Structure formats: C-alpha cells, structure tokens
Amino acid sequence: MRPPGCSGDTAVRTIAVVNRKGGSGKTTTAVSLAAVLAERGLPTLLIDLDPQGSASTWLADARHDRGNDDPITETRDLRSIARKTTVPCLEIVRSSAGLLAAEQARKAELSLGVLRAIERLPANWAFVIIDCPPSLSYLSIGALMAVREVIIPVEAHAIGLTGVAAVVREMGRIQSTLNPGLRNPLIVACRVNRTLHARQVVAELDRTYGWRLARVTIRESIRLAEAEAARLPITASAPDSGACLDYRLLADELLERGELPEPIPRGVSRWRRLFTRSAHVAAAVPSSGLQR
C-alpha cells in the first residue's frame, strides 16, 4: 500500500548512486533526487547503505541513534525498518554502525543479504534510491546486483575524470557477470561552477560518454551544504534555489529516460543465480579488501 497522497500507478525503479571517489556528490545527489521525486507525489524510499550514515544524519530523526546491529540484511521486510521523513512520500532506511562490522565479518554473504533485502522490496515505492559507500565494497556490490539503474555523480574537476572511467568499466563488468539486467550508468556532472576548467571537464565527459552523460548538470551551490547542515532536503530549505531547480531537472530527465524493458533471463532458478553470483562477488570486490 502506498502512502495516502502519493501516486500509485508507477513501476518500482531501483537506482544505486555510486562512485568510488569520496566527496563526489553521491549523498547530496541521492538525498536531493529522492526529495524532488517525493515532491511530485512519487513514493520514494532512500536506502542509506553507507556506514558513514551521511544520508541518515541529513534526513532521519537525530534523536534516534543509529544502532549497532545490521537491520538492512537482518530484516525480512525493509518496510518494517523504513522510517517516515519530514517530506511527504519520502521514507528512509537508515544506515547503522553495524554495517561496517557486518561487512568485515560476512564479506560476500553480506552482498547476498543486501541483494535479497532489495529483491524482496514490495511495490510500495515508485523509486528506491540507494546511497552507496565510496568503495566497491560488499555493500555496494550487493546493491549493484539488485538494482536496474546506476547514477554516477562526478565532480566537475579533472581529478573526477580518471575515477569515472574506472567506475564505468566496473559497471560493465558487473553487468556481464553479476547483473545482466543492469542498465548503462547515467553520469551526472556535479559541483559545476563558472570556471573554464569546469566547462572543459563537462565537455570531456560529453565527448567520452555521449548520451550516458545527463544533459542536466548540477551547479556548485552553498545551498546544498546549508540544507545538509539544517538537516532538511533542498526542497524544504531552498526550494527556489538554482541547485534545487537542477535536481528537479535531473528528475525530469530520469523520468523521460524511463526504463527499457530488460527482464532478467528466465529458465535459471533464483538460487542457482544466487549461487553463481556468489562466486563472482569475491572477484568483483577489489582484492585489497574494503577500500574507503
């Protein structure tokens, strides 16, 4: 059942927001995109899969401490741990400190736990947006096995260019081994300011990635940092700001791009798929272990 006041005629779209580079705008994009989708009456679930818990701190009630257990993979139904936010139609599954310990202890098994938790999601939401940690960790791999779409936010700086090429290659590998249903990633240039350097970086992204680069760019704006500090989504703290407009345009573009019908191939049992995938998880997570 979708919450009252939220529209109920859309299929669920699952989107992981990933980039191995820290501070590239993943959390800002996940939170702001989720907020502008919810603003339109689209029931949206934000899953904070990063043990740092930045999205949880931004949106969830500060009085509730993030526990030491691992609720995301412990529960059989994410609905039971989804919490309302101050934004109608936007719910959040908070991160917990226990995710980091679970990652170190359970490794590939944790990826499968995340996969199952997301696969079991009921059709309560039109969008499920997952804020991933800044690494291709077991948590991120679990999300990438389960979702159909990926957004890669890239800081409009030369240093962001090298990182994005590696992430795009990794998405290709995940597509061919762990998740054939994964669509090509949507790259979003973030923190775009008026400098020539930023323009050159966006032009380079355009040359390299063409249609995979979002037409919309997200401008550099102090309003986003202020929104996070105020623990409000940009739609509430600065609804008329340019940054909020950018994220609304990104939501438009996302809705416009729609979802192509790419069904997971039938004929192979779910458990067989899980078993085959588990063999690939270890290969997908860099051998150096958990990179932060």
Q: Which residues bind Mg ion (CB under 5 A)?
A: 26-27, 54
Is 191 a binder of ligand ATP (CB under 6 A)? yes
Span interacting with ligand ATP, options 18-26, 77-85, 162-170, 283-291, rule CB under 6 A: 18-26
Two tokens, residue 122: 């009921």
Q: Say how many C-beta atoms besides its own lie within 10 A of residue 1's C-beta.
A: 9
Q: Between residues 45 and 55, which has the closer beta carbon with respect to ligand ATP?
A: 55
* CB nearer ligand ATP, residue 6 or residue 189: 189
Q: How far is the CB of 73 from ligand ATP (least distance, A)?
A: 20
User: Residues near 34 by Cβ (< 8 Å), separated by ≥ 6?
Assistant: 44, 46, 90, 127, 129, 233
CB 29 within 8 Å of CB 144 = no
| Among 40-48, 94-102, 218-226, 258-266, the segment contacting ligand ATP (CB under 6 A) | 218-226
Residue 31: phi, psi to the nearest 5?
A: -70, -45
| Residue 137 binds ligand ATP (CB under 6 A) | no
CA distance 55 to 95: 8
The answer to whether residue 23 forms part of the interface with ligand ATP (CB under 6 A) is yes
Q: Does 134 bind ligand ATP (CB under 6 A)?
A: yes
**Cβ nearer to Mg ion, comparing 26 with 66:** 26
**Neighbouring residues of 92: CB distance < 8 A, sequence distance ≥ 6:** 45, 46, 47, 48, 55, 56, 59, 60, 82, 83, 85
Among 14, 27, 137, 237, contact with ligand ATP (rule: CB under 6 A): 27
Tell me which residues touch ligand ATP (CB under 6 A).
22-28, 50, 52, 54, 134, 190-191, 218, 220-221, 224-225, 228, 243
